[in-house]
Amino acid sequence: MILKRGIVILCISFSMVFANKIHEAKILEVINAGSYSYLHLEGKSKKYWAVVNKVDLPVNTWVRFKEEIWYENYHSKILNRDFSDIVFGSNLYYKTN
């Protein structure tokens, strides 16, 4: 019985550590490449790049998305470009006026 409780607590703790973070930021630049969009974003504390399913949004649009994974030193073959760090996201929403 104690072992079962320990496993349940461990599983809950593990899922909380790796829960997906929600990002909210303003688009500074959009690069469409194949079925993806590379978004240069300005968040609350820094500027960074994100990759999401292809979207056609103008610069200065505010977006919100779920973080799936961060990569450091990522090379995009389709853009032939290196990114020091980049986040892959899903479930993109955007604000309209």
Task: Say what the pLDDT of residue 12 is.
Answer: 39
Boundaries of every domain in the chain: 20-94
Tell how many helices (H) and how many strands (E) occur in the chain: 1, 5
Q: pTM for this one?
A: 0.78
Burial class (CB in 10 A: 0-12, 13-18, 19+), 82: exposed
Q: For each of the chain's 97 residues, which pLDDT tens digit applies?
A: 444 444 434 333 333 444 579 999 999 999 999 999 999 999 998 999 999 999 999 999 999 999 999 999 999 999 999 999 999 999 999 987 6
Task: Say what the pLDDT of residue 7 is.
Answer: 42
29, 39 contact by CB (below 8 A): yes
The CATH number that domain 20-94 falls under is 2.40.50.140
Task: Say what the pLDDT of residue 96 is.
Answer: 75
